[in-house]
Structure 1
């Protein structure tokens, strides 16, 4: 696949501070965050009702839902103690998840309880469809394709903004922040057709610093931007492992395969060979697994398999002396995200400890961060990216490349949900934190993308 205007020789500049250094995402301490309140009560609006209560021998709190709603429904400010420590439909607030924010629980429907050893009373919900793909991948971006789009008109606006003495940055911002990535590619092609000039080169000559990096990222095709980010994370001395984890452990199968092909066609390199050259051990194996783009994407959750996988993970870690790392790699690299979520729930019942805590105890360094990222995405992908954004701006200085990369890559996927999780997790809006950490045209463009 070839991307016009992106020959490696022309190249994007080696942005100052890119790749980021020392800004590894730190998983929030257990219990730091509470279950987000659900607007309109529980279950979520339109989510239907809870099924009739299972037999008292099988699940604690038999008889719910109680008249008037689910007992102990979440209230603003946090989630109440989880009845009995195990059960039906609602993730534990404490053990089992380490306090990681959860999306609203999905209703269980259809079928009677299946007999599975290890579940309370030997019973568990029957296999059923898991959360819809939209919930797993995110459902809404802050940038949508503009209506009445005219690539030629936009190209003319950008030409006027850069022509003559000085640059009209606001005119550039108004165009690029309100067009989809596909529309930006059409603007780029129209610009060359109309003026015989390369839009990217013109933008690079007119802009500088972080606003240049941000605008050039917006004009890169999304697959190319991921491939470019991975190349620069491994290029030269040192490796930015956090970038490799962030991209390879969170993308869909199709996205991974397109990234791998683009990496080969645009940079003339094999991504697996570069990973092997820049990483080692169990971390290398995890990334190679991710590069295959072969994760199961069946959205149906098999609770029997979840129980078996949870037992397998326990026996590979907490239940033995030493750690069978390959077992963790196999389960976390192959199971669908809804299936992994069910496995995490089953694991907490078996081990009396959440899986993230066990990974903390059994692993260290980059492989620990990679495995945690997969689990966090299974539990709540927008919360993972919200956490990454927070740590890119927390404390002295700003990790601008991480901030730019996440805002750009999620702007058409799930940035709306990321903003919501950011507010719930940190009691401040993403826009507020961006405004306090950035300035000038860079701030204006970021805020235009994020939306108020």
Structure 2
């Protein structure tokens, strides 16, 4: 069953996805020294979303191919689901005047950033991409913001001006010397330095005092605060490799950690992770994946850890149409599912190309591709495929959803909270915060404050800029 009037008709094609050459390089500054001589990170394209100006440059249509709660005629309002302020229930579809963008799903009256047009729809706030069963179609379309921005300009942490590694090392030494620990002094330093600067502080500490800063910190801290501090002092690629190793160590496997890292990183980042995993832990990442997973999920992760996704930012619209047809024939259009077809297309096409394919699929199948994946797959392979599509549409929204799920309900998934806040703090945490507020009608800082305590809370809030 599909949404009434979905997909919309009459809107123009999507000409303005980021052209080739506008991708950015990673890391934003400096080279990261690795714990045992691992080579520095190289360049790589990392498409992200802008902090202002919706829709983005190039004239791609207004994102938002999903209805707001109550946004189609007669839709029931699920309990507790966020609704658009000022939008009357039952407001229908229809192509807006001029035919620009997607058809008229209700829009919030004044949602914009940096003076951009008020055309940013709220995604409905259903964690995990699931919509209550009374909604036709079963789930909303993921919020879409295809664009490219400069790497490192949308993090909450930036390199400190007038940085002095020796002075910071001395501050940390005094904070840990004697009886007790001055946690606030530690927070003030680590939350206001880039990862590159933290690596220099580690080196300065050993040079000045002949001691290992990380060992000293571990002896002074414990619990979640210790995990957060240690994560902040790991070079980014090493932290990803360490997180993957930890997810596959011992009994059981943390499949969602494997998905979160391998399905969201760029080719360059994945290749560096694979090399770091081998050099630091003496193990082959692909072999570990094969021994800890199975079936179509195993094949998807093996495809991901090759780091061979097409990163050409231009779009082939004919290929998008053909891929959409192939995906339909591999899923909705047949009895059973041709999983290898989904794996091949989602593992090899560039993210802008996948966005175009999703548009073509919606027009052709009268259902969005995310919904079809949910109908055709289950378990972790479903989660992996959906993560790829969600990142193609809006990577910050994916991480906002992961953060929300880590904190909702009883208990907190602190490892996920720490990992996402730390790994995105210099990349796109500003966008993640914006999407979090739009999706859940509360700020990320407010939810962190309610779910954590003590120095751990203080450091997390300092990182997210609260």
**TM-score of Structure 1 vs Structure 2, range by shorter chain:** 0.7 to 0.9
Q: Give the TM-score normalised by the residue count of structure 1.
A: 0.76
Structure 2 residue 268 is the aligned partner of structure 1 residue 254: yes
Structure 2 residue 34 is the aligned partner of structure 1 residue 3: yes
Q: CA deviation at 1:349?
A: 1.1
**Equivalent of residue 216 in structure 1, options 230, 246, 268:** 230
| 8 Å contact kept, 1:260–1:291 | yes
Q: CA deviation at 1:4?
A: 2.9
Match of 2:445 in 1: 431
Measure, in 1, the Cα distance between the counterparts of 2:147 and 2:107.
Answer: 25
Match of 2:20 in 1: none
Q: CA deviation at 1:100?
A: 1.7
Match of 1:76 in 2: 108
| 8 Å contact kept, 1:223–1:259 | yes
Structure 2 residue 351 is the aligned partner of structure 1 residue 337: yes
Task: Please list, as runs of the form range in 1=range in 2, the aligned pairs for 1:54-203 lying within 5 A after superposition.
Answer: 64=98, 75-76=107-108, 98-103=140-145, 132-134=147-149, 140-203=154-217
Match of 1:386 in 2: 400
| 8 Å contact kept, 1:283–1:366 | yes
Measure, in 1, the Cα distance between the counterparts of 2:108 and 2:152.
Answer: 24
Q: 1:304 to 1:95 in 2, by over 3 A?
A: farther
| 8 Å contact kept, 1:310–1:343 | yes
> What SS does the aligned partner of 2:98 have?
coil
Measure, in 1, the Cα distance between the counterparts of 2:313 and 2:447.
Answer: 35
Measure, in 1, the Cα distance between the counterparts of 2:122 and 2:223.
Answer: 45
- Cα offsets for 1:318-347 (capped at 9, x unmatched): 111111100000000000111101101111
Q: Give the TM-score normalised by the residue count of structure 2.
A: 0.74
Measure, in 1, the Cα distance between the counterparts of 2:400 and 2:234.
Answer: 23
Q: CA deviation at 1:351?
A: 1.1
| 8 Å contact kept, 1:2–1:266 | no
**Equivalent of residue 241 in structure 1, options 252, 255, 262:** 255
Structure 1 residue runs without a partner (length 5+): 8-37, 51-59, 80-88, 104-130
| 8 Å contact kept, 1:96–1:347 | no
Measure, in 2, the Cα distance between the counterparts of 1:381 and 1:228.
Answer: 22
Please give the root-mean-square deviation of Cα atoms over the aligned residues, in Å.
Answer: 3.1
> What SS does the aligned partner of 1:300 have?
coil
Structure 2 residue 307 is the aligned partner of structure 1 residue 276: no
Q: 1:71 to 1:363 in 2, by over 3 A?
A: closer
> What SS does the aligned partner of 1:134 have?
coil
**How many residue pairs align between the two structures?**
372
Q: CA deviation at 1:275?
A: 0.4
**Equivalent of residue 239 in structure 2, options 225, 239, 242:** 225
Q: CA deviation at 1:73?
A: 9.2
